[in-house]
Structure 1
Amino acid sequence: MATEASGLRRPARELWQQYRSFILYQLIGVSGVLLDLVLFLLLYNGLGVHEQLATVVSTSAGITNNFLLNSFLNFRKRDGMLRRFLRFYAVGLIGIGLVAVLLLVFHTWLGVDANVVKVVSLPVVAVLQFLLNKRWSFR
């Protein structure tokens, strides 16, 4: 009977840990998105930095924020930090590239406000990066 009870608790505990990690990943992601957005708005609107450069700088800051918080608080993986950061950043570069293309198409070619393009692109990039990071950077 004790074996049955232990057997039931273990999968539930593992499921809870996966759920907790997913929720924490999302919360950390929100902090990175907010940092990215605020920095972009400051650079683009406040300082007049070109939208492409502003998005590279702001997204890089968000990526670094998310990597450090995920490494220390969520996945608690501190081995191979440089390798993990390079993988995490490579995934981030895919996000930067996607946003750059969206800005080019919607802002430069179609005249949509760069702020709108940036805000709308954030959820798309966030989902793509979560899937890639989960399978590659923190496996």
Structure 2
Amino acid sequence: MTVTTETAPTPAPPRVTGQLVRYALIGGSGVALDLVVFLLLHNLTGMNEQLANALSTTLGIANNFALNARFTFQRRDRLVVRFLRFYAVGLTGIALTNLLFLAFTDGLGIDANLVKAGSLPLVLALQFVLNRKWSFA
């Protein structure tokens, strides 16, 4: 009589978890780039926060697309279409942040730098879902 004791292998983390971790790390580099450029444009040059946000976010989007295409979603096909979709998703982030500027900076007088920094986690979560389901599907 043989007795076998089977131990269930430890399940690997779901693919989405790994993607989310990479997306967040890459997003961190884009956020840092976005925030530094925003601070420079808005604080040093006196550029309007809406325009500074659009420019700084565009740089962050381009950075994140290149890195996510390669490392997070490992997709190198249809790069132009994917970039356009990724950028469209990025525009949702610009729009959301601009709405937050209108509500909190213009409406309540909260410093634009704080609003920009506070918007980043919300924008990151929204964009991950949209990019995973549409840009890199």
Q: TM-score range by the shorter chain?
A: 0.7 to 0.9
Segments of 5+ residues of structure 2 without an aligned counterpart are 1-7
Amino acid of the structure 2 residue aligned with 1:97: A
Unaligned runs of 5+ in 1: 1-7
**CA offset at residue 17 of structure 1?**
4.5
Counterparts of 1:1-139 in structure 2, within 5 Å, are 12=11, 15=13, 17-139=15-137
Displacement, 1:73?
2.0
CA drift of 1:18 comes to 4.0
Matches of 1:45 and 1:113 in 2, distance apart? 12
Larger Rg: 2
Q: Distance in 2 between matches of 1:96 and 1:106?
A: 15
Q: CA deviation at 1:92?
A: 0.5
CA distance in 2, matches of 1:55, 1:122: 12
CA distance in 2, matches of 1:18, 1:115: 32
1:16, 1:102 → 2: CA distance? 33
TM-score normalised per structure 2: 0.88
Q: Distance in 2 between matches of 1:99 and 1:16?
A: 31
Structure 2: which amino acid aligns with 1:87? R
- RMSD over equivalenced CA pairs, Å: 1.8
Report percent identity of matched pairs: 52
Q: Please give the alpha-carbon distance, in whole angstroms, between the structure 1 residues aligned to 2:50 and 2:26.
A: 24
Q: Which moved more, 1:15-24 or 1:91-100?
A: 15-24
Structure 1 runs of 4+ off > 4 angstroms? Answer: none
- What letter is aligned with 1:26? A
Deviation for aligned residue 1:47: 1.1
How many residue pairs align between the two structures?
131
Q: For 1:26 and 1:134, how far apart are their aligned partners in 2?
A: 13
**Cα gap change, 1:18 to 1:124, in 2 (>3 Å):** closer
Q: Structure 2: which amino acid aligns with 1:62?
A: G
